[in-house]
Amino acid sequence: MEPLCQSQILPYLIKLSVDYKILLLSFEKKHDWFEFKRRNKLIHDISNAGVIWIPLPYHKKLTILATFYDLSIGLLVSIYLVLKYNVKIVHVRSYPPSVIALILKKINNISFIFDMRGLWVDERVDGEIWSNNSYLYGIGKKFERLFFKHANAIISLSSAAISELKKNKILGTKKIIVIPTCTDLSKFYPKEIKKNENSGSIVLGYVGTVTGWYLFEPVLEFFKYLSEKKRVRFIILNRGEHDFIKNSFLIKKIPMDNVELKSVLHDDVPDEIQKMNLGIFFIKPVYSKIASCATKLGEFLACGIPCITNHGIGDHTEILNKSKTGVIINDLNQFEYSIAVDKTLALLNDPDTRSRCRNIAEDYFSLHKGVDLYSKLYSTLI
Task: Please report whether residue 104 resides in a domain.
Answer: yes
Are 377 and 289 in a shared domain? no
pLDDT of residue 125: 96
Q: Is the pLDDT of residue 93 over 70?
A: yes
Q: Is the pLDDT of residue 345 over 70?
A: yes
Are 356 and 375 in a shared domain? no
Question: What confidence tens digit (pLDDT) does each residue in 46-63 have?
Answer: 999 999 999 999 998 878
More confident residue, 220 or 165: 220
More confident residue, 199 or 82: 82
pLDDT of residue 199: 57
**Stretch 148-165: mean pLDDT:** 93
Q: How many domains does the chain have?
A: 2
Are 156 and 212 in a shared domain? no
More confident residue, 191 or 311: 311
Q: In which domain, by residue range, is 288 found? A: 201-364
**Stretch 210-231: mean pLDDT:** 95
From the list 195, 191, 204, the residue with the least C-alpha distance to 231 is 204
Q: Is the pLDDT of residue 197 over 60?
A: no
Are 358 and 337 in a shared domain? yes
pTM of the prediction? 0.90
Task: Please report whether residue 190 resides in a domain.
Answer: no
Q: Is the pLDDT of residue 171 over 80?
A: no
Give the Cα-Cα-Cα angle 103, 109, 114 (nearest 5 degrees): 60
Q: Is the pLDDT of residue 194 over 70?
A: no
pLDDT of residue 64: 85
**Stretch 248-263: mean pLDDT:** 95
